[in-house]
């Protein structure tokens, strides 16, 4: 049953995330995402086949990266950082919007106290928070790499990009490996989960009679 809730929520979160990258790139002068058909909220335009299979098998997946041509940008380093930031930021905004929608609906719709609606809205909130937080990790190919690069000098940014592109996948794999003596939990889980729970608690505290 939980699969029926979190899968659509994650697909929505991925579509919003990738669309936001495309929209900001388009606004900053790069027509590449528009030409690639990525300037849409249609999830089919943003789903990556391998990422979808991983999603079904491991409950972890990814969307199709939005193509960006930095030569079309006026300030490539700064603009790429803004494009990268747009993805996680959009997920946080969606999480806030659905949190507000749920609790405001409680003033007008008695059905908002139904457990099924709480599960639907809370799942969308946690999925968007999770995707946004995960992509802020400064490890290639995640958005955090470009965001950090935009804050560095040109030389430091180039060295940062080279290092993260070379070792990023290896670091990501290490983050997912279970740590000895941790009960099977990974470093990512130990550091990521408390932050996610804290933010979720701020946006979606348990409703009386529901949880």
Q: What is the 3-state secondary structure (H, E, C) of 127-190?
A: HHHHHHHHHCCCCCCCHHHHHHHHHCCHHHHHHHHHHHHHHHHHHHHHHHCECCCCCCCEHHHH
Nearest alpha-carbon partner for 5 in 130, 98, 121: 121
- CA distances to 38, 84, 123, 148, 180 from 152, rounded to whole Å, are 29, 15, 36, 7, 35
Beta bridge pairs of residue 186: 178
pTM (2 d.p.): 0.88
pLDDT at 120: 87
Positions marked active-site:
18
Q: Which residues, at least 6 apart from 203, have a Cβ–Cβ distance to it below 8 Å?
A: 95, 96, 99, 125, 129
The alpha carbon dihedral of 181, 187, 193, 194 has a sign of positive
Q: Which residues, at least 6 apart from 54, have a Cβ–Cβ distance to it below 8 Å?
A: 60, 61, 62
- pLDDT tens string 124-161: 999 999 999 989 989 878 899 999 999 988 889 888 88
- Residue 176: pLDDT band with limits 50, 70, 90: confident
């Amino acid at each position: 049953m939980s699969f029926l809730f979190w899968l659509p929520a994650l697909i929505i979160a991925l579509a919003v995330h990738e669309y936001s990258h495309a929209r900001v790139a388009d606004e900053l002068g790069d027509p590449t995402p528009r030409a690639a058909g990525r300037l849409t909220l249609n999830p089919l335009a943003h789903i990556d086949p391998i990422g979808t299979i991983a999603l079904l098998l491991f409950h972890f997946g990814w969307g199709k990266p939005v193509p960006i041509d930095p030569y079309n940008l006026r300030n490539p380093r700064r603009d790429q950082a803004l494009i990268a930031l747009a993805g996680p930021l959009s997920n946080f905004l969606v999480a806030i919007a659905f949190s507000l929608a749920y609790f405001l609906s409680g003033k007008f719709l008695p059905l908002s106290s139904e457990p099924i609606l709480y599960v639907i809205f809370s799942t969308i909130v946690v999925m968007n928070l999770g995707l946004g937080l995960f992509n802020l990790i400064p490890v290639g190919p995640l958005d955090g790499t470009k965001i950090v690069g935009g804050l560095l000098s040109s030389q430091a940014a180039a060295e940062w990009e080279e290092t993260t592109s070379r070792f990023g996948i290896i670091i990501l794999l290490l983050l997912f490996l279970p740590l000895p003596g941790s009960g099977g939990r990974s470093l990512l889980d130990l550091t990521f989960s408390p932050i996610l729970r804290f933010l979720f608690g701020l946006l979606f505290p348990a409703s009386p009679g529901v949880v």
